[in-house]
Chain A
Amino acid sequence: MKHNLRTTLLFSFLFFAVQLFAQNKEIKGTVTSSEDGIPLPGVNVLVQGTTNGTQTNFDGDYVINASTGDVLVFSYLGLTTKSVTIGDASVINMQLAEDAEQLGEVLVTALGIKKTRKSLTYAAQDIKADEISRVKQTNPISSLSGKIAGVAISRSASGTGGSVKVTLRGNTSFGNNQPLYVVDGVPLLNGGSGQPGSTFGDIAGGNRDGGDALSLINPDDVESLTVLKGASASALYGSAGLNGVIVITTKRGRAGAFKADVSSNIIVEDAAYFLDFNGAAQNNIDDFLSSGVTNINSISLSGGTDKAQTYFSYSNTFGSGILPNNDFKQHTFNIRETAQFFDGVLTANASVMASTQKIKNRPVSGLYFNPLVGLYAFESDTDSFSNYRDFEELDPARNIQAQRWFRGTSDIEQNPYWIVNRNVSTDTNKKLLANLNLNFKVNEWLSLQTRGTYDQSLLNYDKEVHATTEATLAPSNGRYIVNEQDLTQLYGDLIANINYNIKDNINLTANVGVSTTKNTAEFFTADSGTNGNLQFANVFSFQNFEGNPQVSFNQTSLRNRTNSIFASATIGFNDNIFVDLTARNDWTSTLPDSNNSFFYPSVGVTGIISELTDLGDKVSYAKVRASYGEVGNGFATDAINPNRSILFGGGGINPQNPLQPFPGTIPRPERQRSFEIGTEWKFFDNRLGIDIGYYRTSTIDQYYNFPASASILGESSFGLNSGDIVNSGFEGIITGTPIRNDDFTWNSAINFAANKNEVRRIYDGQVVEGLIEPSFFVLSGKGVNTFGSYLVEGGSFGDIYAQVVRRDANGTPIVDGGALLQDDTDLVDGLTKVGNANPDFTLGWNNSFSYKNLTLDFLIDGKFGGETLSLTEAIVEGFSNNTARETANGTVNVVDLGGVGSTLTAQEYYGLAGGRNGFSGEYVYSATNVRLAEMALGYKFKLPENSFFTSVRASLVGSNLFFFYKDAPHDPNVALSTGNALQGVDVLGLPSTRSTGLNIKITF
C-alpha cells in the first residue's frame, strides 16, 4: 500500500510538473448591474477551474492575474453567473442580471470542494454568518437549532462553553453519533475531555461535560455552515463521515475591501424552566441562583490587495453562570493570510486559530458534586436555607474549617455553597489550529492543491476537594484530581482539481487526491482518590498524595493513522443534468493488516426539470435528485488486542480483561448505506420555494460492546460486528416571501423533518462458538438505578426503560408490605419500556421582517412526540417533600395484593415512588414542546454620508424566551450528554435558562 501511494503521488507530480508554463497578465474591469447600471461590490471573479479569484470592491472594480485563454467567471448571489474568455484585451467590464432562478449560489461541500447548488445530488442546507451571529451563542453550532431540517441540536446542561449534541437524520450507531466537522476543507479534531455517562456521574468530579472543539471557535469567524446530511454527501470522508458532515467555512480577507467589524454582546441569562417546587423550596432556589451575564466582544479586520489578503480577529468572552462561583473566560485569535505568487500560478493560504478558555466550576449534572441535590432537597421546619450560606465552621477537634449542613451529608448531598466554594473545579482548554494551503494552477483546467493542518487541543481539568467533604467523595484530608489531555491531529492531502469541458455541452469537474491523518492522544490522570488520601489536609499537589494503590496515576497514549485515496467526478450535461460519482479507500492502523482496507462509493444524479421542459410561467425552477452512498464509521484505537493496565502504588495489574473482540471474530468498521431522493420547486418568481426529500439509511455491521454472560470467559462484554439500524424519514423546507415592497419585506421559512428509527437487528445470526445471542444492547445501563436505555429488536434508538409501578385492572397502584410493587411484565434488563427520547417530528419556523432600517427576526422551534424522564423530580420527592404536589395535601388511592383499597397522602405515595432508584416510570412526561427559540429586533442607524462608520447596527436579542407548550418539568431540549448515554432523562441538570441581550455591531 505504501508503495502504491508513493507511486501514485510521484506519477501525478511528474505529470503535472511539466505543465508549468503559462502567460500571465493583469486584467481589470468593473462589474455593474444590468438593471440599473449600479456598480456591484463583492462580486466573485474567478479564473475558471482554479481557485484564483478576487472580489469586486465598493466601486465594482476588480483586478486579477490571468492568462490569455483563461475563462473569467463572474458570480454573485442572486445574479446570473457569466463567464468570458480572456483575449487580448486587459480590461473586461461585465454586467450581471438578476437571476430568475437564484442558482448561482455555491456551496462548499466535502473536502472544501465548491459546487453549485443546482449540481448537488443530495440535500444540503447552509446558514450564513448573519444568522449565526444574530443571536449569538458561545458555541456556533447552537445557532443551527430549528434552522436546518433534519438536524437535531441539544444544548448541554453545562452552561456557557458547553458541548452541543448534533444528530443528523437520527441516531445510527451504537458508538459515535456526532457528525464530522470540517473547517475550511480539513476535518476538525473534535475530541472533548469526556461526556457524562451515568446517573451518579463520575466519582472523580461529577457528571461533567468536557466541552467540545466547537466551543473554542469564535462564532464571528464563521462565514458559513453547510450541513451535508446523507452518506452520498459525506462519502468522500470515508470512515469519518458516517454521521454526516458540517462544513465550516471561515472568513478570509478580500482584495480591496478594507473593513473593520467591532461587535459587542451582552447576554443575561436566568434560570427559567424548573420543576414545580413548593413555595419554600423555590424561594431557596431563587436565593441560591442568580442571573448569569455573558459579555462577548469581538473585533475583526480584513483587507488586502489583489496579491495578498489578510483577515484578523480577536474575541473575548467573559461570563458568569447562574450558579454561584461559576465563571467563564475565553479569548480567541485568528489570523489568515492569502497570497498569490508568480502571477497567480501559486496561491498560498495560511491561517492560525488559537483560543484559550478557562471555566471555573463548570456545572455538572447527575448526583455527585452537584450543588442542586442539596439545594432541591433542603427541607426543615426549624431551620432556614440561608443559614447555610456560611458553609463552614471551626471543628475544634481537628482545628479545621468543616462543612456545615442541616443534616448529615450523604453520598450525593452536601451543602451547595460548600460544593461551589470547596469542591472547586477548573477547566482550562486551549486549541491551536494551523493551516497551510497551497494551490498551484497547472493550466486552465487543472490545478493542484496541497494542504496541511496541525490541530491541537489541550484540555486540563483540575478539582480541589477540601477536607470534610462527604466521605463517599473524598477522604479525611480532601482530594485532588487532575486530568490532562493532549490531542493532536496532523492532516495532509494532495488533490488534483480538474474542470474540463469534454464537449461544448459536457463538463467534467473532478478531483483526485490522497490524504493522511495521524491522531495522537496523550491522557494523564492523577487522583488521590476516595480512599487514597492526601498527607496534609487541603494541600492540592501531587507530592502531597499518600503512596498506596488507592491513589491513582494513569497515563494513556494512543496513536492512529488513516491513509486515504479518493476521487470524485461531476459530469454536467447541458448544465442541467449532473451525474456525481465518488470513491474513497481508507487504510487504517486501528485494524489488523489483513482487514484494514475499506472502500466507500457513492453515486448521484440530478436534473433541472424546469430547464429540460417548459413548466409554465408560475414555476420558476424545478429539480429532482437521487443519490446512493456507502460510508463507514471509524474504528477505535487499541481495540483489537488491548493489554491490561497497571494500577499505581503496588496495585498490580487490572483485575479484569480489557474489552476485546469476541474470540474467533475479526473486527471491521461499521458501514452505512444511504439512499435519498428529493425535489426542489420554486414558484412565482422565486417567492415561494419548496424542497422535499426522503431518505433511508441502513447502518450494519456495527462494532459494539455486546453484553455477554461473565460466566463464559469472565468478561461481561465483547466487541462484535453486528446489528442493523434503519433510519428513514422526510425532510423539507418551505421558503417564501409573502410580502416584498420598497419599505417592507417579510421572509419566512419553515423546515420540518420526521425520522423513524428502527432497530432491525442487534444480532445478525452469525455462528460463533461460545456466543449466546443477546436479547438487547445497552446504551445506558441501569447500574444500581432503575432506568436505562436499551436497543431491542423492533425497538428504536433512544428507547427509555424504567421501573414501573404494578397496578390493578383499574390502574390503581398496588402496595404490599408498605412498598409499591414493580410491574414485571415484558421486562428488559428488569425494566419496562416507557418511551423514546427522540421526537417523531420537528418543525422550525423562521421569520424575518424588515421595515426600512428596522428588522425583526424570530424563530419558533417545535418538537413533537417523544418522552422524557425527570429523575430530578423522583430524587426531590424521594429526598424531601419539596414538590408542589407533595405539599398540596393531595391523596393517591392504592390497593393491596388482595384488592383492598386505601388512600395514601401524596407525600407518602411519592415518598415510596421517588428516589434515584425508585419507580422512575412514575416520572415520565411527553417531550413535545413548542418554544419561541430566538427573537431579534435590530436597527441599522442612518449615518451621514461622510461618516467614519460604514454601518452601525444594534439589536435586542432573546433566546429560549418561552414555551407555547411543554409538558415536562424541565426543558426537553437540553441534553445531559452529547454521547449516547442519558438521552431523554434529566438527572439534576442545570435548569434551562431564558436569555436576553443587547448586540451592537459597528463596521468601518
Chain B
Amino acid sequence: MRNISKLIMYMAVIGLITNSCSEGLDINDNPRNITQDQLEVDFQHVGSLYKPIFESIYQYAPAWSYQLQQNLNADVYSGYLTNPRPFIAGANNTTYNLVSGWNNFIWSVPYTNVMNNVDAIGKATETDFPTLYATSLILKVSAMHRVADVFGPIVYTNFGDLANAGVYDSQQAAYNAFFADLDIAVANLMANIDSPRFAAFDQSYGGNYTNWVKLANSLRLRLAIRISKADPAKAKLEGEKALAQSLGVMTANTDGFFVNSALDHPLATIDNSWGDIRMNASMESILVGYGDGRTGTYFENSVATGDIKGVRGGLPLLPGYSDELAQKADYINYSTIGPSLKTSTVQLMTTAEVYFLRAEAALRGWTGAGDAQANYEQGIMTSFDQHGASGAAAYIADNTSTPNDYVDTFNPANNITALSTVTIAWNGGDTNEVKLEKIITQKWIAMFPEGQEAWSEFRRTGYPKIFPVVSNQSGGTIDTAIQIRRIPFVDSELSTNAPGVAGAVSLLGGSDDGGTRLWWDTGGPNF
C-alpha cells in the first residue's frame, strides 16, 4: 500500500516538475506572422514594403478609408463628384462643416501606410541598393505632396527622427525637400538605368527605370508649376531642370503613372455598391456644355433624367426630406461613374496632364516647354486617346461651346447659371489669363477622377470655375465664393502632437481653418 502511494506521489511530483520546466518561458510569438529573417528571402524585407506604398497613396482598401482620405474632400471640392446623401444631416465636409473624424484619414493613411514603409526601405537600401532607394523616394514625394497640398505644413524631413519628433516643415520647406529627394532619385536611377532590380516589386512600370525617371521629371514639373506664383525663381529652375533632363517627361500614354493591383478600385465600391458618390453639377456643366467625347466613358446617364446629370455640391439636408436617406433616395438616381473607370487600376498621373503642364510652362516662358498651343492640343488628344474617345479634332476646333447652366430636377432651388463662357479652341490672341483658364479646364477634365490634383490646381489658378456650395456651415471661416482653401490640422494630431501643431500654425501664417490660403495659393494674379 505504502509503495503504491509513494509511486503515485513520485509520478505526480515528477510529472509536475517536467510539466513546469521542460517547456520554458521562451514562447511568446505568433508563428503565423512573418519574421524579419523570413522576409529576407527573395529580398522581401524590401520588396514587400512597396505594395502597401503603391496601394495607399490613393488608398485601395478598405474603400471607406479612401472615402475619408480623399473622396469626401478633394474629390468633391474639385467639382468632380459629390455625395447624394447629405451625411450627418447635411453637416459635413461638403457643406464646410469640417468633420475632423473623417479628415484624420487624410493625415494618418500616408504616415501609417506609406512613410513607415518608405523609411524602412530607405534604411535597407540607401547605401546598398540605390535604385530601390530612388523608387521609394519618388513614391514618397508622390504621396506626401498631396498631404502638403491639403494641410500646408507637414512633417516630412523630421519623419523617423526621434530627436525632432513631430516637428513640421513649412510647405515651402517641404516642397524644397521634395525637389531634393527627386534629385537623388534621378541621379541614382541614371547611374544604373538598366538594372532589373525593381521588376518583381513594381506595380506601375514593370521595373523599367526609364519610366521612373520620366515620372520623377513629370512630378518635378507638376510641383514646379504649383509653386510658380509663390516662388517663381525656384519654380522656373526646377521646371526647366525637369524639361531638360535627358530622358524627358512623359510623352506617350504608356508613360502615365498608374498603379495596378488585384484590389477593386475604391470608387467602384463607393459609387456602385454603396451609392455614396455621384457626378458633381460642375462636371455636368462643363462636360455636357462642351459636348465632350469622354463624357460617356466618365459617367452613365441618370436613371432619373435619362441624360448626364450631376448633383450640386455642398447640399444640406434639404427642406422636404425627412432624413438623409430620403434625400439620397432621389439623388442616387443621378449619373454614376462610368464602368471603364471601375477597373483595378488607380490613375495617379496622366501623360495628358504633363502636356498641359508644359503648355502652362510655355505661357510662363520656361525653357524647354515647347509651344503652348501644341502642348494644349496634344494634351486633349492624349486624353481622348487614353479613354478611347473619338472626335478629338472637332473638339479642339470647337470655339462656341461653353459650360451649361445647371438644372436640378428634384429641387430647382439648386439651379445655377454657368460661371464661365470659356470655349475649347485655342486662340493665340487670347490673354494669358484666358489661355490659362482653357489649359486648366482641359487639364481638369483630363485628370478625372484624381480629385486631389484637380482641387490643388483649382485653388492655385481659380480654374475651372466650379459652382459654390449650396450650404456654407463654416461659421464664417470659409468664404462661399472663394471656396475652401485647405483642411485644418486634425484632432488626432492636435491631441498627440500639440507642440508640433502650434509650430505648424505659425508656419501656416494664418488661422488653422478652412479659409486660410496655403503658401503656393498666393491669392494674387496668375501672371
| Interface set of A (CB-CB < 8 Å, partner B) | 1-2, 5-6, 9-10, 13, 17, 20-21, 341-342, 345-346, 379, 407-408, 410-411, 413, 438, 440, 448, 450, 452, 471-472, 475, 490, 492-494, 514-516, 518, 530-531, 548-550, 554-561, 563, 587-590, 593, 596, 637-638, 640-646, 649-658, 663-664, 707-716, 769-772, 774-776, 782-786, 816-821, 828-830, 878-881, 897, 907, 911-912, 914-915, 917-918
| A-side contacts of B29, CB under 8 Å | 638, 641-643
Given A13-B9, A410-B325, A645-B33, A817:B95 Cβ within 8 A: yes
Cβ contact within 8 Å between B31 and A918 = no
Could you tell me the distance between the alpha carbons of A656 and B475 in the complex, rounded to whole angstroms? Answer: 37
Cβ contact within 8 Å between A912 and B89 = yes
Q: From B325, which residue of chain A is reached at the shortest CB distance? A: A410
Could you tell me the distance between the alpha carbons of A472 and B2 in the complex, rounded to whole angstroms? Answer: 71
Cβ contact within 8 Å between A2 and B24 = yes
Q: From B493, which residue of chain A is reached at the shortest CB distance? A: A709
Could you tell me the distance between the alpha carbons of A341 and B52 in the complex, rounded to whole angstroms? Answer: 66
Given A563-B20, A880-B323, A911:B89 Cβ within 8 A: yes
| A-side contacts of B15, CB under 8 Å | 452, 492
Interface residues of B in 319-366 (CB under 8 A from A): 322-326, 328-329, 332
Segment from B113-121, B418-426, B451-459, B518-526 that makes contact with A: B113-121
Could you tell me the distance between the alpha carbons of A664 and B162 in the complex, rounded to whole angstroms? Answer: 11
Interface residues of B in 188-232 (CB under 8 A from A): none
Closest-CB distance, A958 to chain B (whole angstroms): 39
| A-side contacts of B163, CB under 8 Å | 769-770
Partner of B475, one of A596, A658, A821: A821
Cβ contact within 8 Å between A772 and B25 = no
Closest-CB distance, A813 to chain B (whole angstroms): 13
Could you tell me the distance between the alpha carbons of A58 and B1 in the complex, rounded to whole angstroms? Answer: 33
B409 sits at the interface (CB 8 A)? no
Interface centre among B17, B26, B85, B159 (most CB of A within 10 A): B17
Cβ contact within 8 Å between B33 and A642 = yes
Cβ contact within 8 Å between B497 and A711 = yes
B411 sits at the interface (CB 8 A)? no
Could you tell me the distance between the alpha carbons of A345 and B6 in the complex, rounded to whole angstroms? Answer: 11
| Interface set of B (CB-CB < 8 Å, partner A) | 1-2, 4-6, 8-9, 12-13, 15-17, 19-21, 23-36, 39, 48-49, 51-52, 55-56, 61-63, 68, 85, 87-91, 95, 97, 99-102, 107-108, 111-113, 115-117, 119, 154-155, 158-160, 162-163, 165-166, 262-264, 269, 272-275, 316-317, 322-326, 328-329, 332, 471-476, 491-493, 495-500
> 11 new A-B pairs (CB below 8 Å) besides A772-B165, A819-B473?
A515-B20, A589-B24, A638-B28, A643-B30, A643-B33, A650-B262, A656-B113, A657-B112, A710-B107, A716-B111, A820-B91
Cβ contact within 8 Å between B95 and A819 = yes
| B-side contacts of A6, CB under 8 Å | 17, 21
Q: From A413, which residue of chain B is reached at the shortest CB distance? A: B325
Cβ contact within 8 Å between B88 and A711 = no
Q: From A8, which residue of chain B is reached at the shortest CB distance? A: B17
Cβ contact within 8 Å between B90 and A915 = no
Q: From A778, which residue of chain B is reached at the shortest CB distance? A: B495
Cβ contact within 8 Å between A716 and B28 = no
Could you tell me the distance between the alpha carbons of A515 and B20 in the complex, rounded to whole angstroms? Answer: 8
Could you tell me the distance between the alpha carbons of A642 and B32 in the complex, rounded to whole angstroms? Answer: 11
Cβ contact within 8 Å between B471 and A590 = no
Cβ contact within 8 Å between A342 and B26 = no
| B-side contacts of A818, CB under 8 Å | 90, 316-317, 471, 473
Partner of B32, one of A516, A590, A645, A828: A645
Cβ contact within 8 Å between A915 and B88 = yes
Partner of B492, one of A411, A643, A707: A707
Could you tell me the distance between the alpha carbons of A503 and B107 in the complex, rounded to whole angstroms? Answer: 73
A-B contact count (CB 8 A): 317
Q: From B266, which residue of chain A is reached at the shortest CB distance? A: A531
Partner of B25, one of A515, A563, A782, A819: A563
Cβ contact within 8 Å between B492 and A819 = no
Partner of B5, one of A20, A516, A710: A20
| A-side contacts of B4, CB under 8 Å | 342
| A-side contacts of B155, CB under 8 Å | 709, 711-712
Given A6-B21, A716-B492, A818-B317, A638:B112 Cβ within 8 A: no
Cβ contact within 8 Å between B116 and A656 = yes
Given A643-B36, A914-B89, A772:B13 Cβ within 8 A: no
Cβ contact within 8 Å between B496 and A709 = yes
| A-side contacts of B68, CB under 8 Å | 784
Cβ contact within 8 Å between B162 and A663 = yes
| A-side contacts of B325, CB under 8 Å | 407-408, 410, 413, 879
Cβ contact within 8 Å between B116 and A714 = yes
Given A644-B33, A772-B499, A5:B166 Cβ within 8 A: no
25 of the cross-chain contacts (CB-CB < 8 Å) are A5-B17, A5-B20, A20-B2, A475-B273, A531-B269, A549-B61, A556-B32, A638-B28, A642-B30, A643-B34, A645-B32, A655-B52, A663-B162, A709-B500, A710-B492, A711-B497, A712-B165, A715-B116, A771-B165, A776-B495, A784-B101, A820-B91, A828-B495, A879-B323, A918-B88
Given A410-B325, A413-B325, A714-B111, A709:B89 Cβ within 8 A: no
Closest-CB distance, A388 to chain B (whole angstroms): 16
Q: From B268, which residue of chain A is reached at the shortest CB distance? A: A531
Partner of B491, one of A493, A494, A708, A830: A830
| B-side contacts of A438, CB under 8 Å | 8, 12
Cβ contact within 8 Å between A782 and B89 = no
Closest-CB distance, B176 to chain A (whole angstroms): 18
| B-side contacts of A658, CB under 8 Å | 33
Closest-CB distance, B436 to chain A (whole angstroms): 32
| B-side contacts of A563, CB under 8 Å | 20-21, 25
Partner of B61, one of A2, A5, A531: A531
Partner of B6, one of A5, A17, A450, A561: A17
Q: From B45, which residue of chain A is reached at the shortest CB distance? A: A653
Q: From A16, which residue of chain B is reached at the shortest CB distance? A: B9
Partner of A558, one of B26, B30, B90, B496: B30
Which 5 residue pairs are nearest across A and B when measured between Cβ atoms? A714-B116, A770-B162, A655-B52, A711-B155, A471-B273
Q: From A815, which residue of chain B is reached at the shortest CB distance? A: B473
Q: From B344, which residue of chain A is reached at the shortest CB distance? A: A548
Could you tell me the distance between the alpha carbons of A821 and B95 in the complex, rounded to whole angstroms? Answer: 13
Cβ contact within 8 Å between A911 and B263 = no
Interface centre among A641, A644, A817, A818 (most CB of B within 10 A): A817
Cβ contact within 8 Å between B16 and A9 = yes
Could you tell me the distance between the alpha carbons of A559 and B324 in the complex, rounded to whole angstroms? Answer: 48
Could you tell me the distance between the alpha carbons of A410 and B84 in the complex, rounded to whole angstroms? Answer: 13
Given A472-B273, A640-B28, A784:B102 Cβ within 8 A: yes
Cβ contact within 8 Å between A561 and B25 = yes
Given A408-B329, A786-B101, A829-B491, A589:B27 Cβ within 8 A: yes
Given A17-B6, A711-B493, A819-B471, A596:B25 Cβ within 8 A: yes
Could you tell me the distance between the alpha carbons of A828 and B91 in the complex, rounded to whole angstroms? Answer: 20
| B-side contacts of A881, CB under 8 Å | 322
Could you tell me the distance between the alpha carbons of A411 and B89 in the complex, rounded to whole angstroms? Answer: 16
Cβ contact within 8 Å between B112 and A655 = yes
Could you tell me the distance between the alpha carbons of A918 and B97 in the complex, rounded to whole angstroms? Answer: 12
Closest-CB distance, B143 to chain A (whole angstroms): 12
Closest-CB distance, B479 to chain A (whole angstroms): 13
Partner of B112, one of A411, A656, A830: A656
Closest-CB distance, A328 to chain B (whole angstroms): 33
Closest-CB distance, B55 to chain A (whole angstroms): 7
Closest-CB distance, B334 to chain A (whole angstroms): 14
Q: From A653, which residue of chain B is reached at the shortest CB distance? A: B48
Could you tell me the distance between the alpha carbons of A655 and B49 in the complex, rounded to whole angstroms? Answer: 7
Partner of B91, one of A656, A819, A880: A819
Cβ contact within 8 Å between A17 and B91 = no
| A-side contacts of B100, CB under 8 Å | 830
Could you tell me the distance between the alpha carbons of A655 and B261 in the complex, rounded to whole angstroms? Answer: 14
Cβ contact within 8 Å between B111 and A711 = yes
Q: From A590, which residue of chain B is reached at the shortest CB distance? A: B28
